[in-house]
Amino acid sequence: MKILVADGVSPKGIEILQKAGFETVIKDKLPAEELLEIIPDFDGLIVRSASKVTKEVIERAKKLKIVGRAGVGTDNIDINAATAHGIMVINSPGGNTIAATEHTMGMMMAMARNIAVANETMQHGEWNRKKYTGVELRGKTLGVIGLGRIGSGVATRALAFDMNVIGYDPYVNEERAHSLGIKVVSLDELIKQSDFITVHMPLTPKTKGMLNKDNIAKMKNGVRLINCARGGIINEQDLADAVKSGHVAGAAIDVFESEPIDPNHPLIGLPGVTLTPHLGASTVEAQVGVSVDVAQGIVAALNGEPVSTAVNMAPVSPQTMKFIKPYLDLAERLGCTACSLADGPISEVTIKYNGEIADVDTKMITIAAIKGMLNPILESNVNYVNAPSLAKERNIKITEIKDKAVENFANLITISITSSGKTETIQGTLFGEEGRIVSINSYRVDVDPHARILICPHINRPGVIGTIGSLLGYANINISGMQVGKTKIAGTSMMVLTIDNEIPDTVMQQIINLDGIFDAKLVNYYTV
Ligand SMILES: NC(=O)C1=CN([C@@H]2O[C@H](COP(=O)(O)OP(=O)(O)OC[C@H]3O[C@@H](n4cnc5c(N)ncnc54)[C@H](O)[C@@H]3O)[C@@H](O)[C@H]2O)C=CC1
Ligand SMILES: O=C(O)CCC(=O)C(=O)O
């Protein structure tokens, strides 16, 4: 497979891709037109913030399976278009956190003490101590908006500078804020109380222009603002106007609505304003970190393994991922089995988790089951990204049930599929790391769901099993395993045969016509 590296990333990540057997094409600062032209040839794409992965790029990328962002922000990638095309988007969120956190602290200090401008004038032979008198951080109130990785890192570092830190983040609970040692307030309070305000959230329709002329007017006279997150969170023109009026004493800005900025940008040349050209993640360590992280994510994803940094999939923590990983394969095989038993369009799927598995985040296991269920019946490749939307498009109702109570097994996954008013139920569990089907429509079995199996409910009387064996033998089809499951319904059994060869439709029909056979369904696991 071929991976295009469209923006400059550390060679450490590229080495990982090459060692894993991928062909890499490395372009530093690939022009948009060239990206459009060459993208159809690639299975994977790595970008930083410069390349824009637009809908047009996605639509032309017929082979593309994954976009890896060497960094956090994915606002340069059309996630909706990628999801609709089943293309996974991953980022590398941990690698540059420290770099961006430290850059924010540096920007705050540079702004408070006029370091950048004093240096600039000294380089031109000026010695002006009075003009560049600054302010101390100690005792000042810092308002942190967005208490994620970087925001919380800035908050704890600011506490070490004896600042009074307050925070606002509607998605972070009191407990988390308490553990940071800061006070959580409303946005309005933060705006009114802070001497310094720093923003650390993604750019979304909600956060775009979140700080603007209306709430800047409510800020303290002489407030100082920092944006090392995303351009546009603070309205640039409104900020420039407030600096000019003297209401805002300083601004330290690393990110801009449009990058690189125009020489006539309103913030250029204003007193008290410190600008850097999106340098937050530009440290040697961060560039190695994000490059290695994104490369490892791409290798895992293209080898069919789930990746915890996927952006357009349900987020799963690395600890949860470790626990659920063996269940993903099992769930996919159970979904495939259930789908093969169904006759007609599937209207409803219920996935039940019993045992300690009921305590973990099972969203991804549910998606694996849906993937397994849809792959045999859809032409397009169903993956972890597009499985939920493909199910939704088909009006399939999906229900997850969790119950810690379980009998006979440590954990049990039960998948019930309803089609044409009839429900088929498959149960599976793990023995060690090995997945097993342990019941089919309440017949107790112990089946290894690999290769292909033939499922035949039948009358429990002498000769029935033998007739199927003979029929398959005449057709030169080898049986390499066999299970017969009993149920509470007297006189019936469930035969599950592991079959080495394909069974032609004509032979399947002959099996169904055999006396004593209720039904025959072949499950082929080649799509898993
Ligand atoms: N300047 C640079 O080079 C870099 C910039 N960044 C940017 O920094 C920002 C933060 O990154 P991380 O801390 O890693 O992300 P994160 O995902 O760990 O944290 C983001 C936080 O923002 C919060 N949030 C979301 N909407 C909000 C709202 N309306 N009001 C208040 N809080 C809200 C979330 O709850 C979350 O806690 C992102 O925009 C990222 O792209 C990240 C790395 C480098
Ligand atoms: O790739 C870069 O240098 C920008 C980093 C960044 O903004 C991010 O990770 O969100």
Confidence category of residue 14, pLDDT binned at 50, 70, 90: very high
Same domain as 384, residue 338: yes
Closest ligand 1 atom to Cα of 73: 41
Answer yes or no: is the C-beta of 371 below 6 A from any ligand 1 atom.
no
Same domain as 298, residue 318: no
Give the closest residue to 149 by CA, choosing from 93, 195, 110. 93
- Indicate which CATH number applies to the domain containing 347: 3.30.1330.90
Give domain status of residue 344, yes or no.
yes
What CA–CA distances, in Å, run from 146 to 169, 184, 199, 227?
A: 5, 11, 6, 11
Give domain status of residue 508, yes or no.
yes
Same domain as 264, residue 139: yes
pTM: 0.76
In this structure, which residue's CA is closest to atom 37 in ligand 1? 148
In this structure, which residue's CA is closest to atom 7 in ligand 2? 73
Same domain as 245, residue 151: yes
Domain boundary among 387, 421, 441: 441
Give domain status of residue 145, yes or no.
yes
- Indicate which CATH number applies to the domain containing 477: 3.30.70.260
Res 315 pLDDT > 80 = no
Confidence category of residue 393, pLDDT binned at 50, 70, 90: confident
Confidence category of residue 120, pLDDT binned at 50, 70, 90: very high
Mean pLDDT throughout 13-27?
97
Answer yes or no: is the C-beta of 169 below 6 A from any ligand 1 atom.
yes
pLDDT at residue 83 in the model: 84
Percent of the chain with pLDDT over 70: 99
**Span 464-477, pLDDT tens digits:** 999 999 999 999 99
In this structure, which residue's CA is closest to atom 1 in ligand 2? 48
Confidence category of residue 21, pLDDT binned at 50, 70, 90: very high
Percent of the chain with pLDDT over 90: 83
Q: Is the dihedral of CA 273, 279, 284, 289 positive or negative?
A: positive
Instruction: Give φ, ψ of 37 to 5 degrees.
Output: -70, -40
Res 488 pLDDT > 70 = no
What CA–CA distances, in Å, run from 462 to 79, 174, 466, 479, 502?
A: 59, 68, 8, 19, 27
Give domain status of residue 309, yes or no.
no
**465 SS3 class:** helix
**Span 324-359, pLDDT tens digits:** 989 999 999 999 999 999 988 899 999 999 999 999
**Span 236-289, pLDDT tens digits:** 999 999 999 999 999 999 999 999 999 999 999 999 999 999 999 999 999 999
Same domain as 184, residue 148: yes
Same domain as 119, residue 234: yes
Q: Is the dihedral of CA 141, 142, 145, 146 positive or negative?
A: negative
pLDDT at residue 114 in the model: 97
Mean pLDDT of the chain: 94
Give the closest residue to 145 by CA, choosing from 72, 249, 230. 230
What CA–CA distances, in Å, run from 56 to 51, 64, 78, 386?
A: 13, 13, 9, 19
- Indicate which CATH number applies to the domain containing 120: 3.40.50.720
Domain boundary among 407, 441, 475: 441
Same domain as 83, residue 126: no
Give domain status of residue 110, yes or no.
no
Number of domains in the chain: 4
Q: Which helix (H) or strand (E) holds 239?
A: helix 236-245
Give domain status of residue 446, yes or no.
no
Same domain as 459, residue 420: no
- Measured CA to CA, the distance from residue 49 to residue 150 in angstroms comes to 17
What positions carry a catalytic annotation?
230, 259, 278
Same domain as 377, residue 490: no
Q: Give the ligand whose atoms come closest to the C-alpha of residue 311.
A: 1
Same domain as 458, residue 434: no
Confidence category of residue 380, pLDDT binned at 50, 70, 90: low
CA 347 / ligand 1 centre spacing (Å): 39
Report strand pairing: 434-440 vs 443-447: antiparallel
- Measured CA to CA, the distance from residue 321 to residue 512 in angstroms comes to 42
CA 382 / ligand 1 centre spacing (Å): 31
Query: Domain range spanning residue 59?
Result: 2-93+285-303
**Span 67-113, pLDDT tens digits:** 999 999 999 999 989 988 889 999 998 899 999 999 999 999 999 99
Res 317 pLDDT > 90 = no
Same domain as 236, residue 144: yes
Give domain status of residue 180, yes or no.
yes
Confidence category of residue 482, pLDDT binned at 50, 70, 90: very high
Res 361 pLDDT > 80 = yes
Give domain status of residue 376, yes or no.
yes
pLDDT at residue 418 in the model: 95
Same domain as 411, residue 337: yes
CA 102 / ligand 2 centre spacing (Å): 14
Closest ligand 1 atom to Cα of 281: 3
Tokens of 165: 């830190």
Q: What are the strands, taking DSSP E only, across 155-195?
A: 164-168, 183-184
Mean pLDDT throughout 226-238?
97
